[in-house]
A = this chain, B = another copy of it.
Amino acid sequence: MALLSTSAGSTRFDVPPYVPNGNECQLFETAWTRQLPLLLKGPTGCGKTRFVSHMAARLGLQLSTVSCHDDLAAADLTGRYLLKGGDTIWVDGPLTRAVRDGGICYLDEIVEARKDVAVVLHPLTDDRRMLPLERTGEQIEAPPGFMLVVSYNPGYQNILKALKPSTKQRFVSIEFDFLPKAQEVAVVSVESGLDEARVAPLVELANRLRKLKGNDIEEGVSTRLLVYCASLIDSGMDRREAIRAAIIEPLTDDPDVKTALAEVANALIV
């Protein structure tokens, strides 16, 4: 998903555009200055990843992103021993590389990772700012230029997959939500090439469907899906077919819910 940066003066040549929705840029910069780790919370496709790319470029920092998943273990972040010419040699993982070199290490959807990952982050997120590598016996101190950013979607949290309070309390936290309507129309129009007039009813439709979240559909329509939909229309596809392929089908498999969503769409998109 692509969001345009409108924050005056701070856009440099190769900074990915980003439209701030509140004080998140100031908070990020303050956290960076005070060497505090940061936690981003928010729904799918609302721009968290883009925000981190934007801030990394703006602050001139290297960005290393790790998408977390059920099988991601601490060793995938810190490193492991590999065989090389008959010897076992140590190879740094992405977190270790970031701690050594400085820059931002961004762990996307941290709650998905195995639980040992959270614990590896503990000594990095208190005043020690240190990454202990138990298997090599090394203890790497994070340089001032290192910052840890993690994100998760609170909508998915369940008992088995929640961050422990002892982990959460190690991060300054920002909550994200979808853009206000006018901003979202602008962003979708720029990303898809479709004019704003034809984008506006799509954003209106998205906002109506987002209110259904938790009832018939699990998650609200992301800005990304709106860009997909506008792209299909911009390529000449019928609007209703585009809405079906890029909004309704990705939201649900239930025939009744599909019919209901299509009726909402038909009422709006005449």
Binding site for B on A (CB under 8 A): 1-2, 23, 26-27, 30-31, 33-34, 36, 39, 41, 44-45, 49-50, 65-74, 76, 81-88, 93-94, 97, 108-109, 112, 114-116, 118-120, 122-123, 126-128, 132, 134-135, 137, 153-154, 156-157, 164-166, 168-175, 218-219, 221-222, 224-225, 228, 231-232, 235-238, 241, 245-246, 249-251, 253
Contacts and interface: CB of A to CB of B under 8 A. Distances in A.
A67 B120 contact: yes
B34 A165 contact: no
A245 B39 CA distance: 9
A190 to B, nearest CB: 12
A43 to B, nearest CB: 8
A123 B65 contact: yes
Contacts of A236: 30
Contacts of A68: 119
A128 B2 CA distance: 10
A34 B172 contact: no
Nearest to A254: B154
Given A27-B237, A127-B1, A173-B249, A36 B71 contact: no
A159 to B, nearest CB: 11
Contacts of A109: 119, 166
A132 B67 contact: yes
Nearest to A16: B127
Given A156-B166, A168-B250, A169-B224, 12 more contacts: A23-B238, A27-B232, A49-B126, A71-B115, A81-B82, A85-B86, A166-B219, A169-B221, A169-B225, A170-B224, A173-B245, A173-B249
A90 B250 CA distance: 35
Nearest to A45: B169
Contacts of A112: 115, 119
Contacts of A137: 94, 97
Top 3 nearest A-B pairs by Cβ distance? A173-B249, A165-B219, A69-B119
